[in-house]
Amino acid sequence: MCVMTTALVSCNSQPKTEALTGETVKTADTMKTAEEIRTNMSYLNDYNAIEQLFGNENWLLADQKDSSYLYVSRLGDYSVNTYAYKMIKGDSAQVKHGRMERGNNTINWEFDGNPLAITGATSTRIVAAARGGDSSAYEFIRLDANRIQVTCPDKQKKILQKTLPLSLFLIRSRYDFAHGTRYAFDSVEFSKKRPG
């Protein structure tokens, strides 16, 4: 009996978290948790927008002198892998692995040798500022299902052209080099005909 009385008194003497009006009183811990949830959701929305814009796709960045490729692949909620590479003799070479990841309250990414901080992301547009106090920015705009326009800080516009899926593209590129064909740049995905 004495134990139950002590338990009831101690429960009634704990501070209440509700005001007389029935509203929950916000403590510093609950406000911090709410802010962390808001921040994480904001980042998650940005990563979802990045995935909608780039997909898990292989992109050709055609240039006048030399073309390069960018493969984008999302891993989990808060990480996107990027692989920038060139094709030499039918094989991928000069592969540079990068990531789009959180750091210093932004999503950071190195694109075309430039460290960027993504400042805004929607499913059709991403704006990324050059890190280091420079006010220059890159803009990535989805033109259609197969093209993304990249506007560089010097206002030069480039096009990222979607290619075949990465593994198929690499196999066809190697075949093209060995046989003098151009199947890697064909938009048709060949498949073996089934009898029947």
- Reported as a single tens digit per residue, the pLDDT across 131-170 is 876 667 899 999 999 999 999 988 999 999 998 877 777 7
CA angle 74, 134, 47 (to 5 degrees): 15
Band the pLDDT of 33: cuts 50, 70, 90. Answer: low
Per-residue pLDDT, 189: 53
Residues paired with residue 92 on neighbouring β-strands, in sequence order: 87
- Indicate the average pLDDT of the chain: 77
Written as one letter, the residue type at 5 is T
Looking at residues 19-33, what average pLDDT do you find? 54
Q: Find, among 73, 78, 71, the residue nearest to 173 by Cα.
A: 71
Query: Distance between CA atoms of 145 and 77, rounded to whole angstroms?
Result: 23
List the domains of the chain with CATH numbers. Answer: 48-178 (2.40.128)
Looking at residue 57, its pLDDT comes to 92
Percent of the chain whose pLDDT exceeds 90: 32
Across 22-36, 52-66, 79-93, least confident range: 22-36
